[in-house]
Amino acid sequence: IEDVPSEAITLTVPAMMKAQRLFCMVPAVSKAKAVNSTVNGAVTPACPASILRTHKAATLYCDRDSAKYIL
C-alpha cells in the first residue's frame, strides 16, 4: 500500500484532448486487449483511449507485452 500514490490528477477526455502533445505509456500485459482496441477498433466511448487516434500529436508507447496483439 505504501507504493500507491496519495494524490492523483483526473482529467476529462475533452480537457485531455486540448493538450498540444499527448504521451501514453502502457507497460503491462493486462492492458494488451485494450491497446489492441485502441489501435485497431472503432473510436468509441466503449474504448475511451481510442480517442487518442484523433489527436494530431499523440504518441502511444507500449512494451512488448502490452502490444502483443498488434505486433
Amino acid at 53: R
Q: Please report the pLDDT score of residue 59 as a whole number.
A: 97
- Is there a contact between 62 and 30 (Cβ–Cβ < 8 Å)? no
Long-range CB contacts for residues 47-50, cutoff 8 Å, separation at least 24? 48/13, 49/24
Q: Please report the pLDDT score of residue 47 as a whole number.
A: 95
pLDDT by residue (tens digit) across 18-70? 999 999 999 999 999 999 999 999 999 999 999 999 999 999 999 999 999 99
> What is the pTM for the complete model shown?
0.82
Q: Please report the pLDDT score of residue 4 as a whole number.
A: 87
Q: How far apart are alpha carbons 42 and 52 in whole angstroms? A: 12
